[in-house]
Amino acid sequence: MIKLMAVVVIVPISILLMASFFVLLGVQKAEKKSLKTFGVVIAILLWISSAVVFTGGMIRTFHGGPMMMHHMMGQKMMHEGRDMKGCPADQCPMMKDGVTKTAPDGKPAPKDKTAK
């Protein structure tokens, strides 16, 4: 099964390759040698950048990539944060001015029995 990232990578690659095609088309019509050399260099840079986009997309598709790790760490931190024990009332993110705030799911947060 092809993952979504593999399909999404096709769009920037095709844009870069299409731009390099038109650069090479313009190089054929150019008369100055310096302009032809500049066009070829630009086309090569576009090919290299499309290869980098392709490689990055494949790495992120098949290995999860750093974005997936940040998302998973955020989920883990959110679940661990609910189980904080011994959180003083003045430092607890769910308490402010001694009033219990509601948790993100809409239920009132449990009061800390160890707070004075």
pLDDT digit string (tens) for 1-31? 456 767 788 899 999 999 999 999 999 999 9
Residue type, 48: I
pTM equals: 0.52
86: left (phi over 0), alpha (psi -120 to 50) or beta: left
For 48-93, what is each residue's pLDDT tens digit? 999 999 998 888 877 765 555 555 555 555 555 555 556 665 666 6
